Structure 1
Amino acid sequence: MLNPLAVCVCGLLLVTAAPAVLAQAAAPATASAEGAVDALRSFVRDAKAGRASFVQTVHAPNSSKTRVSSGQFEFSRPNRFRFNYLKPYPQAIVGDGEKVWFHDPDLNQVTVRKLGDALSSTPAALLAGQAIERDFELQAQPDRDGLSWVLATPRQRDGTIVSLKVGFRGRTLAALEIADSFGQRSVLQFTDLLIEPSLPAERFRFAVPAGADVSAQ
């Protein structure tokens, strides 16, 4: 079963993404809300590739229950990304610039979908895309939990994503909140953020495992 981020990235193609400023310079503990908007714009403009660890917490609608998973994220502009979920069970979401691959190793199942214009309304567009203000309306939000926030509302309103909130600590991405049309709220918290001038192209290629059940949609 795909986790909620996968559903968000899938909604990509009905729609994750991929989760963002990974700045290395020292920065104040918080920035103004307008500064967070500028930080997000700078990330999209200047960060060509990068990697981070993440913890994802999914809040079910009308319930106190949560589900926690963790893994690693990589991106390379334009539109190449990899989410490797490691706990509680392995799963991969890989965008190679033309297609998005979803792999469940436990079931040995692969789903592949065309990247499509719908990428513009997903978390992956914030993390690996290039035309953020073409794809999202940006609005500064009040500081919360020691972070400054930007609300990013997809201009394309018929996707799975209702809204995204991007939280910064200074000029560094700290969190991404995803609200979807199913009433779920997913929170990704990033650590060990590192900007790279480039990453090897093979990181964003997906090889179908032997014997895998492949579904193209």
Structure 2
Amino acid sequence: MRILIFFVGMLASVLARAAGIDQLKAFWANTTSAQGTFAQTVIAKSGRKPQNSTGSFALARPGKLRWAYEKPMRLLLVADGEKLWTYDADLNQVTVGKIDQALGTSPAALLTGEALDRHFTLSEAGTADGMEIVEAVPKSADSTFARVRIGMKNNLPRLMEVQDNFGQTTTVLFTQFQPNPLLPQGAFRFTPPHGADVIGE
């Protein structure tokens, strides 16, 4: 009887862990766009005081993203499907590059990319705070980060934790995440402000 209970417990544990990737795939299958708000914390390997910021986002697959840091700094990232624009409002400076180079193997590709398994190896990483955790490891040796942990709940991402190759950990908590909203026209269009310095293409 103890052996039976042990194996039933193991089976239940395996099934629970498997739910993470299933939820991520369900998110991909059923969600083509999203919007919401986030709180971000960056912790350096040195252990210095964490950097906290908040903002809002919108995304649409494939390859469209609007990520706006609002406090304590103003920084806007807009991916329009072809290019990635980064606008630093305080410096009045715009940086632009090709989206496939900027987002193709980045953590953002897990939400906005075209193929879930193309750039990442996915594995189950247990549960935490009521979320099923999926670990994504980049397949490319040229990636700037080591891994991403995604917390899934009710088929939606609630948390992303990115560990880069320099020992820095960035945690993004989605404080609101609305799937398939009616996004405003031009949400992913960016025009450099008058007088801004434009660096890149």
Cα deviation, 1:59-80, whole Å, max 9, x if unaligned, reads 0113152000000010011100
Q: Which has the higher contact order (CA 8 A, sep 6+)?
A: 1
Could you say which residue in structure 1 is the equivalent of 2:125?
141
Could you say which residue in structure 2 is the equivalent of 1:93?
77
TM-score normalised per structure 1: 0.81
Query: How many pairs does the alignment contain?
Result: 187
Measure how far apart 1:169 and its partner are: 2.7
Could you say which residue in structure 1 is the equivalent of 2:190?
206
Question: Which has the greater radius of gyration?
Answer: 2
Contact 1:37-1:140 within 8 A present in 2 as well: yes
Measure how far apart 1:175 and its partner are: 0.3
Any stretches of 5+ residues in structure 2 without a counterpart?
A: 1-14
Could you say which residue in structure 2 is the equivalent of 1:65?
49
Identity of aligned residues (%): 38
Q: Provide the secondary structure at the position in 2 that maps to 1:126.
A: helix
Contact 1:78-1:97 within 8 A present in 2 as well: yes
Could you say which residue in structure 2 is the equivalent of 1:180?
164
Any stretches of 5+ residues in structure 1 without a counterpart?
A: 1-30
**What is the identity, as a one-letter code, of the residue corresponding to 1:209?**
P
Alpha-carbon distance between aligned partners in 2 of 1:58 and 1:192, rounded to the nearest angstrom: 19
Match of 1:109 among 71, 89, 93: 93
Q: Provide the secondary structure at the position in 1 that maps to 2:186.
A: helix
Aligned-CA RMSD value: 1.6
TM-score normalised per structure 2: 0.87
**What is the identity, as a one-letter code, of the residue corresponding to 1:59?**
I
Alpha-carbon distance between aligned partners in 2 of 1:88 and 1:197, rounded to the nearest angstrom: 27
